[in-house]
Amino acid sequence: MTPEQRIFTERSDAVSRTAMIGALVNFVLSLIKVLAGIYGHSQALVADGLHSLSDLLSDILVLVAGRQAAQAPDSDHPYGHARYETVATLVLGFLLIAVAIGIGWDAVKRLFAPAELLQPGALALSATLVSIGVKEWLYWWTLGYARRVRSDLLRANAWHHRSDAISSIVVLIGILGTLAGLPYLDAIAAVIVAMMIARIAWELGWNATNELVDTGLESARLDEVKETIRSVGGVRSIHMLRTRRSGG
């Protein structure tokens, strides 16, 4: 096996392993948080459970799009299949926006109807603490593989796990505040989680759209490319440098 083939195999194995483990963990976590949120009377925890479900979709996206994008160019796709990953990312962005709107709308309605505000209990508090610990571990574990195989796709997925841990911390604050006698905090925490999901969706969708319309690299990256070209022996000047992205 050549060094290039070995690197490709290691990268493919890392993507598959982290995506499958991440999907399993996120499925269990989303189920626990949604059920604990329902029976523990925490709207914010239910919203956080749906956020974990979005991480599950992200893991499935990484697994499917990663395998599809890794295919070699063919007669129908002479430039390769890397943008399958980009299209899938854009679709995920739209799904996350829809989830954020639903969560935010329901939370705002409860804020204007005090009788409908929920009172979280110990079950919701325990599930939130478990979520924070598990998602933080999943972040560092996935990031370790991303660094090992130098994969931006895995690095992005690791930060998606970290965003879920951060949203769980927001939920924890909301639950603790409600238990302390501030019933509005749980609904407010749900709104904040919805805004975090919307922000992630916007970033995913914006970056994917920029790639699909062939937006060039930012100036800092262009400078790096130019410096690399100038370092080649015999090169005197650079003319008509054009760039675009294609998947990872």
Q: How far apart are CA 174 and CA 186, in angstroms?
A: 4
Residue whose entry in the numeric block shows the structure tokens 């319309």: 213
Domain ranges for the chain: 3-213
Q: What is the pTM of this model?
A: 0.65
pLDDT in tens, the chain (248 residues): 666 556 666 766 777 788 788 888 888 888 898 898 888 888 778 877 877 777 777 677 777 766 666 667 778 778 776 777 777 778 777 877 887 887 788 778 777 766 655 667 788 888 889 988 998 998 899 888 888 877 766 777 777 777 778 778 877 887 887 777 777 777 787 788 788 878 878 887 888 888 888 888 888 888 899 999 999 989 888 888 898 887 65
Residue 159's φ and ψ, nearest 5 degrees, are -70, -25
Q: How far apart are CA 171 and CA 36, in angstroms?
A: 13
Q: What is the DSSP string of 11-25?
A: HHHHHHHHHHHHHHH
Please, how many CA atoms are within 13 Å of residue 179, restricted to the half-sphere of its CB?
Answer: 15
CATH architecture of the domain with residue range 3-213 = Up-down Bundle (1.20)
Are the C-beta atoms of residues 60 and 203 closer than 8 Å to each other? no
Q: Residues 6 or more apart from 158 whose CB is under 8 A from it?
A: 139, 140, 142, 143, 146
Q: How far apart are CA 240 and CA 181, in angstroms?
A: 65
| Residue 144: both structure tokens together | 């370790």
Spell out where the chain has E strands.
none
Are the C-beta atoms of residues 129 and 172 closer than 8 Å to each other? yes
Burial code of 101-124, b = ≥16 C-beta within 10 A, e = fewer? eebbebbeebeeeeeebbebbebb
Residue 129's φ and ψ, nearest 5 degrees, are -65, -40
Is the alpha carbon torsion for 17, 22, 27, 31 positive or negative?
A: positive
Q: pLDDT at position 180, please?
A: 79
Length of the chain: 248
Q: What distance, in Å, lies between the first and last C-alpha atoms of the chain?
A: 24
